[in-house]
Structure formats: structure tokens, C-alpha cells
Structure 1
Amino acid sequence: MDRRVPATLLLCLLLVTLQAQASSTYRCNSRLVSLEATTAEVRSKCGEPSNAALVGYKEIVDDHGYQQEVPVEEWVYGPNNGMLHFLRFEGNRLRQITSERGN
């Protein structure tokens, strides 16, 4: 049996795991913001975004079982060292962090 295949698979899984962890926080200057942070917390730690847009609304069920519609916003920070950072908020809570190389 060739043992290189499982090692390659393990390496791929490790890289996917590291990538998922990298997208759960955003470093702005010397401060970190994590998923579930509020818009106020992100703004106080990172300042104003270079762009912010309301992209729509989403229906959610809150902790008490009530269905409600919340705003969905996308904030952009950067470019920082050639990277743009996109922070997606649902109901004023940070839900997603993605980055891509700017032009």
C-alpha cells in the first residue's frame, strides 16, 4: 500500500482547516475582530471602512425562536498591502470575513 496518498490527503485537510481558521478573525492595526463581533466593536477597533453597503435583508430565527428580518451589510477595508478585506454583517453581527488581492 502506498502511504503517500494518505499523507497528501492529510496535508490537504490541514490546509483547508488553516484556511477556515484564518477567515474567522480580521487584524486591523494591532487589534483583532472575530466572528460575532458587533458593527460598533468593529468600527471602534478598525475605524471606518473604505466602503460599506447594504446588500439586502435575511430572515433569521433568534435565540428565542422568533423569526425576524435583519439587514445584511458588507464592509470593505483596504487595500492593506495589496489585500482587500470584506466583512459581512447580518443583523449587526460579523458573520463572514474574506480577503482577496486588490488591483
Structure 2
Amino acid sequence: MKRLICSLLILLPLGAYASSTLRCGSALISLEDSSSVVSSKCGEPISREFVGYREVLDEYGFRHEVVVEEWAYGPRNGMYQFLRFEGNRLIKIESKRGR
């Protein structure tokens, strides 16, 4: 029975998926790109939301807060792309099908 449930879960379509790159026209953006690079390649998002702050450690071990934002693009072929930035660096690309 466990095997059947696991098999069914694999076959179910996912509502969202994460990626490490996103095509914007003929340009490609990748994780770790700056928000200015993303903006220049993809244009202005349909929405831009301030999420909050996150505490991070820098390469020297010092703690500081960075701004967290989420940008939305789309729809493109029925999909919306949600980009999450921490400290002006792209950390997550997620696509979801529109309704």
C-alpha cells in the first residue's frame, strides 16, 4: 500500500516548481543575480512586495539584516513567476500556473 501511495504522489501534477534560471525574452537570469540585473533583463514586475527583513551572516561572521522582497512576472503561457530577493540578490525562482 505504501508503494502505491508513493507512486501516486509522483504522478500528481505539482502546483509550483522552483528553478535556478528564468528566461526573459532572449535574456536569462539566474540565482544570485542582483535585482538591478533582473530588472534590466526582465523589465518591471507586475507586482513588487516588501516581505520583511532577514538576519544573515556575512563572509566574516558578522550578523546583519537584509531586505526581503518578492517580485511577480507573468502570465507567460499561463504561468506566473515569483522571484524572491534577499539583500538585492535573487535567491528563489518559483513558477505557478494561473487560474
In structure 2, distance between residues paired with 1:92 and 1:52:
13
TM-score under structure 2 length normalisation:
0.81
1:77-96 alignment, distance < 5 Å = 77-96=73-92
Structure 1 alignment gaps of length 5 or more: 1-11, 13-18
Determine if the alignment matches structure 1 residue 43 to structure 2 residue 42.
no
In structure 1, distance between residues paired with 2:59 and 2:21:
23
Structure 1 or 2, whichever has the larger Rg, is 1
Question: CA-atom RMSD, angstroms?
Answer: 1.7
Q: Among residues 61, 65, 71, which one is paired with 2:67 in the alignment?
A: 71
Percent identical pairs in the alignment equals: 58
Following superposition, which runs of at least 4 residues in structure 1 exceed 3 angstroms of deviation?
Answer: none
Q: Among residues 8, 19, 22, which one is paired with 1:26 in the alignment?
A: 22
For residue 16 of structure 1, what is the aligned residue in structure 2?
Answer: none
Number of residue pairs matched by the alignment = 86
Determine if the alignment matches structure 1 residue 56 to structure 2 residue 52.
yes
Q: Name the SS for the 1:94 alignment partner.
A: strand
Structure 2 alignment gaps of length 5 or more: 1-9, 11-16
Cα offset, 1:47, TM superposition: 0.4
Cα offset, 1:88, TM superposition: 0.2
Letter in 1 for 2:43: G
Q: Work out which structure has the larger RCO, using CA pairs closer than 8 Å and 6 or more positions apart in sequence.
A: 2
